[in-house]
Amino acid sequence: MNQRGQSIHGNQTNIGEAGSIGQIGDNTYVMPQPRPTIDLAAAHAKLAQLPIDHALTTAAPLPDRSRIVFDRNEHFTGRSAELVQLAQQTT
């Protein structure tokens, strides 16, 4: 065992806790931090505030620790009717 309490076997480190780093072969791995608890009632309240008669035209900022790896597609247009229909079907 090393100083962090991780057991090491040859070139492999068994990662023990969130945020710790380990290496297997040539690859380095970092264990993700645990996700925060979600307040389901608050999420439902936010969902109830969304309009169902028109599509949103502006994007809201993403929550902390969110990541989207693709740029916004400026050609993704003309789907307002489908988005309204989807919103109405999910309420």
Integer CA distances (angstroms), 82 to 39, 70, 85, in order: 29, 22, 5
Coil, strand or helix: which one is 36?
coil
Residue found under tokens 């991780």: 6
pLDDT tens digits, one per residue of 23-81: 666 777 777 777 788 899 999 998 889 888 988 877 778 888 787 888 878 887 788 88
Neighbours of 31 (CB within 10 A): 13
Rounded Cα distance between 60 and 80, Å, is 17
SS3 content of the chain, % helix, strand, coil (to 5): 20, 15, 65
Q: Report the predicted TM-score, pTM, of the whole model to 2 decimal places.
A: 0.42
| The predicted structure's pLDDT at residue 2 | 46
